[in-house]
Each structure stands twice: as C-alpha cells, then as structure tokens.
A and B are shown apart, each in its own frame.
Chain A
Amino acid sequence: MTALRLLARDPVAFLGLLIVLFAVIVAAFAPWIAPYPDDAFESHIMQRLRAPSAEFPFGTDNLGRDILSRVILGTRNALAVAVTVVLAAMAIGVPIGLAAGWREGWLSESLMRVTDVFLAVPQLILALALGQLLAPGITAAMVALALTYWPFFARTVFAETRRLRSSLFVDALAGIGASPARILFLHVLPNAAPAVLVRATIGMGFTILTAAILGFLGVGAAPPSPDWGLAVAEARQHLPEAWWFPTFPGLAILLLVLGFNLLGDGLRDAADPRLRRSRR
C-alpha cells in the first residue's frame, strides 16, 4: 500500500497507471464502447479506405471496417495476450527461480544454466523459431512468448531468493523450526513479490510490443482478428493513400506500452528506496 501512495506522488508513474486503467476499462467494455462492434469480422467493401470523418473518426480500412472500433476491440486482444503470456511465464519462471535460489547444488546450477541458454538469444528470434515450429497462429505465438519470457522471472526470483536466504530473518525462522516450504511460500515469496511485480509490469509492455511484431510478421494473430500489429501489416499495401490506416493502431500500441513502462518505472522506484534517492 505504501507503494501505491508513493505512486500517487510520482506524477509520471501515475499517468502510466491512468493509461493502463483506461485500457483495461476500454477492453472490458469494448463491444459497448465501439461504435461498430460488428466490424471485428464484418466487411463493407463499399466504404473502404475512407479518411477520418465524424462518422469514422479514425477512418476505415481496406475492407471498409471502422478503424476506431477495431482499435477498441483490439485492446482486448492485446491485453489478453499480454496477461496470459506474463502469467504463464511467471508460472514457469517463479518456481524455477525459487528452487534454484533456495538450494545450492547441481540441480540449481543446471536450472540457472538452462535459464542462461534462453537468455543467450534475443527473445524475438527464439519466439519466431518456436512459433514457426509449433505451427503459426495466435496460440503458438503466446506459447512461444511465454517460453521465452520465463527466464526473466527465474532470474529475478533467483536473485531475490539468494539474497533473502542469507538474511537474518530466514535463519531465525529456520531456527524456530519452520519448514522450508513454509519459509519459501509464506516469507520468501512475499518478499520477492515487489521485484516480480515490477518485472511483470515491464513484461506486459514488452509482450504487447513483441506480440505486435509477431502479428505484423504473420506469425501471430490471423485475419480477421482486430490485432494492432496485423492491422499495420495489412495497411502497408495501401500507402501512401491511406495514412490513417497504420497510424491509429500503431498509436494504440505506443500508448498502451507507454502506460505499462511508466507504471513499471514508477513501481521500480517505489520498490527500491536506493533508486528513489537517485531520482531526486
């Protein structure tokens, strides 16, 4: 809660929080907010590539669909993909980090070596290779992104666990006879939570961006999905006439990722007093 209060005092991070909340609300009520909710899959060839107007504030695309509606509907996809990927990556990475951090020995050594292997390749390249081998599609892209993002959680949790394990209060708990499982889940994990939260927030922005690249390259979402990356890809054939076609989906990506990044930055500063000082 102190983190929240600190966040309120940092206007930039607060702006990030507002953007994220706005996106969540838009996503939750997308079908009711969008002026033409059926444009997720319907096409109207007669009104294709119309410039922005009162009727279509962001213009229409190559199939005559209202871009504003598709941007709104796409918010749902972007958030759903990012949340799923980040949660899945956490489900893999956090236990591995805990296990590797708690014990020393060949098991933890090899776990961290495997983590290093995954970190040795840029995430997008690995996700591309995985996504392709799994047969292209949005599910494969999500699996690929989760399989390439977990090492970041493993690293974070590993570092926190190692730090806490050597700290006095863990010794004290072991001294009064607390079981390792109890110490790990009731004491170590809550202490590692802020670092994991920061990592997850930044991971949200990162995943939205990477998923958009996958969509753009044709390895992620498939038509007629209102995916933002896909929309930018579809727009390329209609340039320079339809400038509005790639512009607005791209701005949506920019805004949402910016929101998560600002929020993540603020959370990191709030979670780490040392950094807070250097912000001064």
Chain B
Amino acid sequence: MARYILRRLLLALPALFGLVILTFVLSRVIPGDPAATLAGDGATPALIAEIRAQYGLDRPILEQAWIHLRQVLTGDFGRSIFSGRPVSEEIAQRLPATLELTFAALFLATVLGVPLGLVAALNHNGPIDHLVRLLSVGGLAVASFWLAIMLQLVFSMDLDVLPLRGRVDVALGPPPRVTGFLLIDTLVAGRPDMFVDALRHLALPAVTLALPGLATIARFTRSGVLETLQKDFVLYARAAGYGRVRLAAIYVLRNAVTLVVTQVGLLFGALISGAVAVEAIFDWPGLGTYAVQAILSADYKALLAVTLVVGVVYAVVNVAVDVAQALIDPRVAEEAK
C-alpha cells in the first residue's frame, strides 16, 4: 500500500510542475511589463529599471523561470504587493480556515448524501426517489453566493438565530492558535463555549458549501446502489440469508461507495471554487477572501500563490481519493500495476 501511495504521488508531480510553469508564464507574460506595473503610473524610466533589476526581471527568461521554480519549491512566494508581508506567511495563516470550512462541508455532504442516495435507491421510482433525484440536479444549479445570502437573510437577519459573519464571536476572541482549525483549537484551549460559538459560525457557510456536494454524493450513491443491487452476489447474499439491513447498508453500500469516492475528489475543486464566494459573503478569513482581496488590489503575487497552493491541495486530495479507493476495493491497487 505504501508503494501504491508513493506511485500516486509521483504521478501527480508532472501536473504540479506544469502548474508552476503556467503560473510563471501568467505572471511574466500577461501583465505586459511587470516592472512597470509594480512601479505604478507615472514612474520614471529609472525607477522602472531599478525595480526590474531588484526583482531580477532583467535576466534571461529561462533563468527567471528557474529562479521562480526554486522559490516556489522552497515555499517562497515573495511579498504581497498589498500588505508587504510574505505571501507564504499569509497563506499559512489562512489555509486552515478554508480547510476547516471545506472539510465541514464535505462531511455534511457525505453524512447526508450517502443515506439519501441509499434510501432513494431502495425506494426506486418511489416518491422519495423522485425527490432525491430532483434535489441532486437542483442542488447543482444553485449559485452558492446566492444561497449564502438567502440563508443569511433568513437565519441571521430575519430569525436572528445564527451569526452573520466571521469564524468566532469577537467578544469571546479566538483561542490560542495551535492548528488553526478553530474546532480543534477551542477544545485544546478547554473552552466548550468557544467551540459551540465556532460551530454556530461554521453552520451557514458549511451548509451553503455542502449543497452541491450533497447533490453529487446523493446522486452517485443512488446510481451506485442501483447498479450494485443488480449484481449476482447480492442475489447470492440474499439466498444465503444476509439480513436486509446489513445487506443494504454495508454489503451493497461498500461497492457503491467506490463510485462516490471518485466523485468526492472531483467535488473538491467545486468546493474550493464555491469557498471563494462563500468566504467573501461570510467574511471568512480563508484563502477565498484572500484571493478576492488579491484581485481587488491587483496583488498578482498573492493570486498566483493561491492558485498554486490550491493546485497542491487539490492534487493531495485526489491522491487521498485514490488511496481510499484502493482501501475500499482491493482490486484497484492491483489493477494499477
């Protein structure tokens, strides 16, 4: 299994390497003269030349590419044009918030989506089935930013039962930073009140973000279970006397889940995309708000760094998906040889 994981990681490397090249090309080619951009409007040619030398922009393009690659590999993304702080530091600060949000959404989507898909399949063509089908197509059609605003409107503004924005109540203050995951840090700090508060803040953004995932997972669980139910081994298991519940919930579901797990990998991209808008609306201090801020302030260094980091996270998630599949279905790892 270790060798399988290693091989999957190695397979992800070329795409990541390509991504580094792509970000380099984007940063050097598209804005025209980056030195002039950095110097701002009405800068003297002397100032532009100085900046060009300072950033190494006067060197041959291949050498620049090499420097860029070396910097990226050492985690050096330069300084934010907006704040002047190292981009890598700012990203490290914000990444846990985004991961906490996306994992919470993925968790919700899975614990709700799998049973929904299962129940739908077991009531094939019944009313519940049609409802789940509608939900699974409709859930993918909802604009996350719109849903976020609608939920705010109802639960924060109208009913006033859940907080409107942020990760934690300012009056309570954030717990001492250990992992950056508030749900963990509050418990480490021994503050259940803060934990509940963090959970309440997480609720609306996580639900918003979970909906498309819920739709996808319910849909693929449903079709996976329907497909598995046709198999001979299900008939055999019934004849041999497996219990009804066990048959559906474990025996069939495990096969169906292999289909679902692939989708979770693909879903992660959608989750990160959704997170950009959702974070912006809930003032969630993660990578999404960072990206939006970078856009608004034309901070291309920060933006490219976010692109790269998201690419890496995405690749890691997809390797994790492959590994999970190999764990669920022993044939996967062997076929990969």
Let me know if B280 and A239 touch, CB within 8 A: no
Closest Cβ of chain A to B164, distance in Å, is: 10
* Residue interface mask B140-180, A partner, CB < 8 A = 1: 11111111011011000110000000000000000000000
Contacts of B223 in A (CB 8 A): 278
Q: A117-B22, A121-B311, A125-B273 are in contact. Are A239 and B157 (CB under 8 A)?
A: yes
Closest to A256 in B: B141
Contacts of A236 in B (CB 8 A): 149, 281
Let me know if B314 and A132 touch, CB within 8 A: no
A residues lining the B interface (CB < 8 Å): 12, 113-114, 116-126, 128-134, 136, 205, 209-210, 212-213, 216-219, 229, 232-233, 235-236, 239-240, 243, 246-247, 249-250, 253-255, 257-258, 261-262, 265, 278
* Residue interface mask B261-275, A partner, CB < 8 A = 1: 000000011101100
Let me know if A134 and B153 touch, CB within 8 A: no
Let me know if A246 and B310 touch, CB within 8 A: no
Could you tell me the distance between the alpha carbons of A129 and B25 in the complex, rounded to whole angstroms? 12
Let me know if A125 and B272 touch, CB within 8 A: yes
Residue B138 at the A interface, CB < 8 A?
yes
Contacts of B138 in A (CB 8 A): 254, 258
Let me know if A125 and B14 touch, CB within 8 A: no
Let me know if A239 and B307 touch, CB within 8 A: no
Let me know if B143 and A250 touch, CB within 8 A: yes
Closest Cβ of chain A to B31, distance in Å, is: 6
Contacts of B249 in A (CB 8 A): none
| B contact residues, total (Cβ < 8 Å) | 56
Given A132-B298, A213-B143, A239-B152, 20 additional A-B pairs, CB 8 A: A116-B14, A120-B18, A120-B314, A121-B307, A122-B273, A128-B276, A129-B306, A133-B26, A133-B27, A210-B273, A212-B146, A213-B273, A232-B146, A233-B145, A235-B149, A240-B158, A249-B146, A254-B141, A254-B142, A278-B223
Q: A113-B14, A122-B272, A126-B307 are in contact. Are A240 and B149 (CB under 8 A)?
A: no
Residue B118 at the A interface, CB < 8 A?
no
Could you tell me the distance between the alpha carbons of A258 and B314 in the complex, rounded to whole angstroms? 27
Closest Cβ of chain B to A274, distance in Å, is: 10
Let me know if B277 and A217 touch, CB within 8 A: yes
Residue B82 at the A interface, CB < 8 A?
no
Q: A123-B273, A132-B300 are in contact. Are A116 and B15 (CB under 8 A)?
A: yes
